[in-house]
Amino acid sequence: MKLDVEVLRYLSKDDFRVLTTVEMGMRNHEIVPAELISLIASLKHGDTYKILKNLLKHKLVHHDSSKYDGFRLTYLGYDFLAIRTLVNRGVIAYVGLQIGVGKESDIFEVATEDGTVLAMKLHRLGRTSFRAVKSKRDYLRHRSSFSWLYLSRLAALKEFAFMKALEDHGFPVPKAVDCNRHCVIMSLVQGYSLVQVRELQNPEVVFETVVGLIVRLAEHGLIHCDFNEFNIMIDDDEKVTMIDFPHMVSVSHRNAQMFFDRDVECIYKFFAKRYNLSFQDDADDKNSAESDIDEAGRPSFSSISKSSGCLDKELAASGFTRKDQDNMKKV
């Protein structure tokens, strides 16, 4: 469903009132009864249905009459609510072109009133199958029923919190600007994803930097869980920036070592295949030389000095509270 922000210009306050009402009703209803929407919106009955018809025309809501006459928000409707809130806050003033698309998100250029260009990430969980999402996200472990909008909001909140905490600890990440619903506003990273880069001037240096980030994250109590060539940005000076943090888990997670080893293995395989790096010599040189290197010359999870939970205070301060974490585990 394509995001057409031009439609925003033609939506009235009452349109957004009804759209917000549907969002509120979805806290307790998968499909919000039309009568309840009319009641909460406090508009004339005929006016509410007229507005719902307009929202339906623009695909901001979906109509369902299988059990009763009702409506639910679409991702496009959720987009509009988030964008309008961010515009009203003065965070953004313009929405530009789409610059990226992933399995679970869309990325757009946005700009502030003074012309500063930022990036807007809209989380869209549900593009992949539920089984695929559930296998990656431990906060889906205990439920089979859920709202994709709610889960996307949690993913955005988690990414914003982790990005802010990592930035505060000096990690090379985009600057977290603001977050609303399933939308995260961040600084625009100048460069390319590593998967697009065919040649590097100093592949060994970049490799050491990237692997060093995996180790440093673990030392701070975190594992990225999706650390690959798609989530590593590199600029013309071969400066590395890491992105995409909704999958992150603590080093105390029961599968932490598996996630850590998978991130390391992914980087080793990519650099060996793309840039023809050989690691056997490094393994011989480093064998028994450093305590955090295993027999194959790769970082060893069990030997890394870890401080699980060291970012708790920072995460709570940036909006991702213990209650949010508990809610994610219950979903």
In whole angstroms, give the CA distance from residue 14 to residue 6. Answer: 18
| Cβ proximity of 178 and 89 under 8 Å | yes
In order, the DSSP letters of 40-80 are HHTS-HHHHHHHHHHHHHTTSEEEE-SSSSEEEE-HHHHHH
Task: Look at residues 230, 289, 234, 290 and name the one whose alpha carbon lies nearest to residue 263.
Answer: 230
Please list, residue by residue across 53-81, b when 16 or more beta carbons sit within 10 angstroms of its beta carbon and e when fewer do. ebbeebebbbeeeeeeebbbbbbbbbbbb
Residue 226 annotated to the active site: yes
Given the residues 226, 237, 284, 285, the one annotated as active site: 226
> For the chain, first and last CA: distance in Å?
26
**β pairing state of 61-64 and 70-73:** antiparallel
> Which residues are the active-site residues?
226
